[in-house]
A and B are shown apart, each in its own frame.
Chain A
Amino acid sequence: MTTVLAIDDSLTIRQLVSQTLEAAGFSVTTASDGREGLVAFDKARFDAVITDVNMPNLDGFGVIEAIRNGTTNRRVPILVLTTESGAELKDRARRAGATGWIVKPFDDTALIDVLHRLTGGQARQ
């Protein structure tokens, strides 16, 4: 099963992402801020990470940088889930090392499609 780590400080968004993805057959772990997200990231090998940008303790860019500069699973696809939609933000996300982005509010099938595309549709070894 494809495993996804969803990091967002909003419980509503966490639940929304979990429900959407679990219904599509993903296994979802959630974390409520960047620091917690990194702790969770260390504990299991995820096939993809979805992160909010604006969060307490450590923001989404910090999460991406930490993962990309880490040793484990540093090439994991990371999707930025954000309410901002400016080109500037996409640029910043890309520079930080994001694999892609989804703008909130998101469309269920779009999110699922993108995840399938980025993870190759199946769990890695």
Chain B
Amino acid sequence: MNDSLKATFFAECEDLLEALSSGLAVVSEGAHDAETVNAIFRAVHSIKGAAGAFALTDLVNFAHRFETVLDRIRSGTLEIDAEVLRIITRSSDVLADLVEAAQSESGAIPEAMDGLVQSLTDLGEAPAAGGAAAADAFAFEPVAFAPICLDLPAAERVFHVAFTPHRALYENGHEPARLFAALAELGAVEVRCDTSRLPELDRLDPAESYLSWTIVLRGDIAEGRILQVFSFVEGLCDLTVDLVDEGVPHEPPALLVHESDGTDKGGAHMAPVDTPAPAAGPVGAAPGGAPKAARPATPGQPAAAPAATLRVDPERVDKLINTVGELIINHAVITQKVIASGIPQNSDLMADLDDYRHLAREIQEGVMAIRAQPVKPLFQRMARIVREAAEATGKDVVLVTEGEATEVDKTLVERLADPLTHMVRNAVDHGIEPAERRAAAGKPLPATVRLSAAHRSGHVQIEVADDGGGLNRERVLQTAIAKGLVSPDAKLSEAEIDNLLFLPGFSTASTVTNLSGRGVGMDVVKTTITSLGGRLTIASEPGRGSVFTISLPLTLAVLDGMVVSVGSETMVLPLASIVETVRPRPGDFMPIGPTGTLLSIRGAFVPVVCLGDVLGLGRHEIDASRSILVLIRTETGSQVALAVDGISDQRQVVIKSLEGNYRAIQGISAATILGDGKIALIVDPDAVVAMASQTPPLSPLADMEFHNDRRAAAG
């Protein structure tokens, strides 16, 4: 164990002890909420865990007793009273002393320890509950895989191992081939695969386990060693290990006939070599001729008719996308230079450049198409989620899907799995009412969760809709108030109340059932969607249900934007947020408050936010004769008019992360490089609107030195 690791350990202990004492301070003031108790528990637990690595026995043992008591408090089987508080506070002191003793290698035992150990042991022993865990306080296994004592091996033994994996074995990340490889290290193996249970290809469930194996293992082997190989898969397979006498023919023992409706036809597809005759014999294990390289029935590749597909490392495609992005920028740069050189617009060169542009776009679209995948597999998985959720909640729910063929960028499909799972579970768990309530309201059974995908103007829109009771806004508001997320006297619109669901800390134990709550709340869903450049909105109607809408860009690499000028800067507004652009007339403005301005548009009033103002690019008067207003729709569904100085273009821009190359700036989501080689910042309209409603106004760009050349963002 080296010194730097020890230094890390003691530094970490210092932090953990600090967390421990600040947690205890909170508890001693009478507030012992779950999070605080958890933090205390974790601090002690982490010290114990790391101390074990250095064989600091005194520390580990004491921490363990301490932890046992904290665990009881955590699980609610032990109340914190004055005496308990005294003991755990003193224990934290002793723990600190022990850490110090370990660090100075003094071996000193804190005086108070012995008495405390007794108190902790008393407290740790639950009258009834948790007894087993507490009693077994020191049952540490020093090494998980301690060599097992071997039986005295006979000269050469022959074992027959019958191995039938369950579906769960694959689901837990095991691969039969690796188990066989481990067996092969013990002696000579002969692996036979039984494919008789494989169904017809069209009925094959790629996640199901159809194959079983018989292995003949010869060598100087103790049975315990064989079982050890299978120790992790215990309970995940049917396993028999039989020691057969030497001289037994190399056939597996005769077993019972296994009925299989699939006969061996499916096997012909799966087993690459020697399709076995469905031998009358083995318990679910006709001896197959497939050699040890036989593929386990892993999902994803149901060896279908060889469609001409090409498997490519996604990184290569990503690189290509990036390069194409550069190509398009390069085109813009050349065009700019050609124009600047005074070559007439109608020259051949310009026509060639135009061809160049078309070709570049075609390549770009082609490359994007490589990454596109239909959402169908994702939607199919949701059917199962709905089934399981419906079962768990005892509700009668069907999933209706629409637009399964809609193609989305591969990354998006993958990243959407978790948020979508969560939203679908929520829809069943929270959205749909219990059957009695539905019946009372005269609503049809089964209830419906509708999952749909569609392309809408350069975006992919995915909706999770339920025909349940809709949001209980009263309760949402009460919960938010109870959690201190909004002040009790706040006046919120319906849309604002709905959006409380997305606040971090909103969904916690009291509102999330076991089913929906997997430690991931709607705030995480929202964060994930936002990080993908998308937005998540909610619409709910009492008695009719709720609709959650995810709107995502088609790709993460380019963005449709409107190029605007703000003061001397050029910026890009995402087209997705823009409703319309307005050139206001003088009478359209109404002052509100000391500095605010409202725009009157078609009888409605919309707040005006000056973009340059918010981003700290200097004070801009909103001037009806000069300003142009870009009306945007925020995530809450309300509209805001952003005042800019001019609109110069509408185009696709290549997104360059700012965080990777510079740092995150509030109100700015990324940067791009324009045709003239200048950097333009891409505005995050929602962040800008949020910033505008804060006082005093921040000036995030004021201190940013602006390098308006390509080098600053290159890379």
Contacts and interface: CB of A to CB of B under 8 A. Distances in A.
Interface of A: 9-13, 15-16, 19, 34-35, 42, 52, 54-59, 62, 65-66, 68-72, 75-78, 83, 85-86, 91, 94, 97-107, 110, 113-114, 117-121
B144 A101 contact: yes
Interface residues on B, range: 35 or more
B133 interface: yes
Give the 7 A-B residue pairs with the shortest CB-CB distance, closest first: A105-B52, A12-B50, A110-B145, A99-B173, A107-B143, A100-B232, A77-B173
B140 interface: yes
B137 to A, nearest CB: 11
Interface string B170-189: 11111101100110000000
B417 interface: yes
Contacts of B413: 71
Contacts of A52: 49
Given A35-B524, A55-B42, A71-B378, 8 more contacts: A13-B53, A34-B519, A62-B519, A85-B139, A86-B139, A106-B143, A110-B143, A114-B145
Interface of B: 2, 4-5, 8-9, 11-12, 38-39, 41-42, 45-46, 48-50, 52-53, 55, 132-133, 136, 139-146, 168, 170-175, 177-178, 181-182, 232, 235-236, 298-299, 377-378, 381, 413-415, 417-418, 421, 518-520, 524
Contacts of A94: 172, 235-236
Contacts, number: 144
Q: Is the interface of B mostly helix, strand, loop or mixed?
A: helix
Contacts of B45: 54, 83
Given A15-B5, A16-B53, A103-B144, A75 B171 contact: yes
B195 to A, nearest CB: 20
A76 B41 CA distance: 30
Contact of A113 (B11, B53, B145, B414): B145
A121 B257 CA distance: 37
Nearest to A69: B421
A42 B415 contact: yes
B173 A120 contact: no
Given A10-B49, A83-B52, A117-B178, A78 B173 contact: yes
A116 to B, nearest CB: 9
B144 A99 contact: no
A107 B172 contact: no
Nearest to B63: A83
B53 A104 contact: yes
Contact of A54 (B42, B143, B298): B42
A58 B144 CA distance: 25
Contact of B142 (A16, A19, A105, A119): A105
Nearest to B517: A62
Contacts of B144: 85, 101-103, 106-107, 110, 114
13 contacts: A10-B46, A12-B9, A12-B50, A16-B50, A70-B418, A75-B298, A75-B299, A85-B140, A85-B141, A98-B172, A99-B232, A110-B145, A114-B144
Given A12-B5, A16-B53, A54-B45, A75 B235 contact: no
B170 A75 contact: yes
A76 B173 contact: yes
Contact of A19 (B5, B39, B173, B178): B5
From B52, B139, B145, name the one whose CB has the most chain A CB atoms within 10 angstroms.
Answer: B145
Contacts of B52: 83, 104-105
Given A71-B417, A78-B173, A99-B172, A9 B518 contact: no
B48 A86 contact: no
Given A83-B48, A106-B144, A56 B42 contact: yes
A55 B42 CA distance: 7
A84 to B, nearest CB: 9
A12 B519 contact: no
Contacts of B11: 11
Given A94-B172, A101-B144, A105-B52, A120 B177 contact: yes
